[in-house]
A and B are shown apart, each in its own frame.
Chain A
């Protein structure tokens, strides 16, 4: 298994040490040449600053830059990606590592003691402080192994909990989708059309789940709504409707018009395409929407469609004109029809 470059910054340690050495060099130079407040003040202050930096970084108060693909990853990852991420989290939990926060706290405390000691503030209570310190160190040495064991067992328990939760999630999804569909297929074994439709619906849902969405959720975005429309058309007219959407946009008024027109085009194509699948390709953005619906049926000439047939003329072309867009129906060379639906949207800030 390869390491994760997104989580392990290259050269981070060298940069930190280099910056620290440059700072130390500056301090040494000022100590030799300029006004110097005194070793008892500056060095404890420098160590305290380093400790504070470590504490802040460990607490998340300082930004940690993500780089590479991780920096551009959308916040909602697919189940597969999130599974990979949680596996990495599980591996990280089992790995013993030095706590930056603990190191920072130690440095700040040590610098505070050093400051007080160097300035003579601890001399009156020197023996008491020394005795307390010795007791603390002895207790830490005695109990450190059991604390470490406790921390490890807590981490192992958390690891196991994450794993079992993942298994339960995947199991629940498989039961709700694939197993139920298989049971329905067994019942409908005598009806090949019904079996094909069930398999097709399950395939679509599983693909959507693997890609990070859930086709069962309400379609508030145009890509999801096109998928839902394709499922409805398959159920109504039979056949197969393949939808490929690039990008996405909200389902507002222009997008609603495109959806209505595309649904009508899909329905027409499914009715007249025969056994050949209907292809829907959509380019969706906040500026413009383009949808192509193609079939490999017999094809037709829109000019010779009788006026009483209002499907193409009103539901597709007319609807898009009213919405401020356009639709073109053309016969493809070699048979088949392509409906191009396009609309410009106002760009949003």
Chain B
């Protein structure tokens, strides 16, 4: 069985969480202004890059 691609999985989760936030914002449950949206986007991108770099390093070691 193929092992899951962790980077793609993480990216999918980040996009899913972003979608949930946007739905909640559209629904009026939360007020998602640029001040909160910017750190969320930057943080998601940072987490994906960090995970990708760490996984690449782990593969390089093996």
Please report A residues at the B interface, Cβ cutoff 8 Å: 5, 9-29, 31-33, 67-68
Assess whether A67 is in contact with B61, with CB atoms less than 8 Å apart: yes
Complex Cα–Cα for A55 and B42 (A) = 26
The answer to whether residues A18 and B47 also contact, given A13-B53, A28-B38 and a CB cut-off of 8 A, is yes
Assess whether A31 is in contact with B46, with CB atoms less than 8 Å apart: no
Assess whether B56 is in contact with A14, with CB atoms less than 8 Å apart: yes
Which chain B residues in 2-60 approach chain A with CB under 8 Å?
35-36, 38-40, 42-43, 45-57, 59-60
Classify chain B: how many residues form its interface, as a range.
Answer: 20 to 34
Assess whether B59 is in contact with A22, with CB atoms less than 8 Å apart: no
14 pairs of residues in contact across A and B, judged by CB atoms under 8 Å: A9-B57, A11-B52, A14-B52, A15-B57, A18-B45, A22-B43, A23-B46, A24-B42, A28-B38, A28-B39, A29-B36, A29-B43, A32-B35, A67-B61
A308 shortest CB reach to chain B, Å? 63
Complex Cα–Cα for A15 and B23 (A) = 31
Assess whether B40 is in contact with A15, with CB atoms less than 8 Å apart: no
A48 shortest CB reach to chain B, Å? 20
Assess whether B60 is in contact with A21, with CB atoms less than 8 Å apart: no
A contact residues around B36 at 8 Å (CB): 29, 32-33
Contact of A17 among B35, B49, B57 (CB under 8 A): B49
B42 shortest CB reach to chain A, Å? 4
Q: Determine the residue in chain A with the shortest Cβ distance to B38.
A: A28
The answer to whether residues A11 and B46 also contact, given A28-B38, A29-B36, A32-B35 and a CB cut-off of 8 A, is no
The answer to whether residues A15 and B54 also contact, given A26-B39, A29-B39, A68-B61 and a CB cut-off of 8 A, is yes
